[in-house]
């Protein structure tokens, strides 16, 4: 009976030491019992059959290239629309400026040929 308690106590001590070493690893690492140290989870991407890789959680790196393309294309579209609006406005202003009637009558002056 005493030997069972002693074995259980030794197992508990060993488990505590191993868990203590595992807790030293940060979230992007896992404990490798083969080399007794923390190993980066990036090795699991290169070597997926590495033991204890199942403890690593991978977040998919999303590509933001489409966002950059969308922002760029909308910016170019906005510049084109504003430029087109300005050009059309200037053209309409010129067209209507030439056809405006005079607001004040032209003063007729008498010259040497037309005496009053």
- Give me the tens of pLDDT residue by residue for the chain, a chain 116 residues long: 566 666 665 565 555 554 444 457 877 787 777 777 888 888 887 877 777 777 777 666 667 888 889 999 999 999 999 999 999 999 998 888 776 666 666 666 666 665 65
Complete DSSP assignment for the chain: -HHHHHHHHHHHHHHHHHHHHHHTS-TTEEEETTTTEEEETHHHHH-TTSTTGGG---------HHHHHHHHHHHHHHHHHHHHHHHHHHHHHHHHHHTPPPSSPPPP---SSS--
The domain spans of the chain are 24-56, 67-95
Write down the pLDDT at residue 5: 63
């Amino acid at each position: 009976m005493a030997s069972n308690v002693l074995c259980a106590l030794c197992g508990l001590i060993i488990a505590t030491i191993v868990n203590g070493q595992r807790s030293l690893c940060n979230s992007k690492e896992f404990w490798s019992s083969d080399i007794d140290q923390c190993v980066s989870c990036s090795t699991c991407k290169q070597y997926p059959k590495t033991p204890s890789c199942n403890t690593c959680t991978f977040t998919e790196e999303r590509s933001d290239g489409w966002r950059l393309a969308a922002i760029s294309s909308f910016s170019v579209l906005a510049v084109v629309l504003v430029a087109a609006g300005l050009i059309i406005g200037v053209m309409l202003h010129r067209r209507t400026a030439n056809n405006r009637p005079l607001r004040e009558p032209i003063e007729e002056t008498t010259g040497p040929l037309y005496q009053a």
